[in-house]
Amino acid sequence: MRKIFSLIGLCLSLSLGGMQGEAIAQTQTDSYDAALAKRLGADARGMRQYVLVVLKTGPIKVPAGKERDDMFAGHFANMQKLSDAGKLVLAGPFDGKEGWRGLFIFAVASVDEARDLTATDPVIIKGEMIAEFHPWYGSAAVMEIPSIHAKLVEKKNP
């Protein structure tokens, strides 16, 4: 709850001027954790650079069966490997409408590095999906998602 108020305070301090904004900014400064900011790669605003990757339906639909099952098993294993390496901080599927299949958020400084990482994914290699890349500037707190998520998983995928 305290973190929500800190985030609200930060938003208000950025939008308010005068004494009110300064008082809110002071409250925010009191809770600043320099070591955490450094570990997460945060700048002075608590933000950092990422690359957002939108996965879309590709030109080749791999038919149902062993090849498709193996491709998706490799897709999940690849995501886990990239997450374990600290490169992939968020991933998940879309509903498939309009060809939107999933997303990755990579903690990398360039689209070229994100392209190299995405090129290791079996769904990209097989042509089941294609990737669209967008630089994204967001909260460094996103870096904490993998460690928090690990505490929420009751049952691992087979």
Q: Which pLDDT belongs to residue 30?
A: 74
How much is the mean pLDDT over the chain? 86
Q: Which pLDDT belongs to residue 56?
A: 98
Fold classification of 47-150 (topology level) = Alpha-Beta Plaits (3.30.70)
Separation of alpha carbons 8 and 38, rounded Å: 22
Query: For residue 137, which phi and psi values (nearest 5 degrees)?
Result: -105, 110
Q: Which pLDDT belongs to residue 50?
A: 98
Q: What is the pLDDT of residues 43-54, one digit of tens each?
A: 999 999 999 999
Q: Which pLDDT belongs to residue 157?
A: 63
Given a cut of 50, is residue 1 above it in pLDDT? no
Q: What is the pLDDT of residues 65-100, one digit of tens each?
A: 999 999 999 999 999 999 999 999 999 999 999 999
How many other β-carbons are positioned within 10 Å of the β-carbon of residue 82?
20
CB 90 within 8 A of CB 104: yes
Distances, alpha carbon 87 to alpha carbons 15, 65, 117, 133, in Å: 32, 31, 9, 15
CB 73 within 8 A of CB 119: no
Domain boundaries in the chain? 2-32, 47-150
> Global pTM?
0.78
Closest CA to 125 of 72, 63, 82, 64: 72
Q: What is the pLDDT of residues 4-58, one digit of tens each?
A: 334 334 443 443 444 454 555 555 567 999 999 999 999 999 999 999 999 999 9
Q: How confident is the model at residue 124 (pLDDT cuts 50, 70, 90)?
A: very high
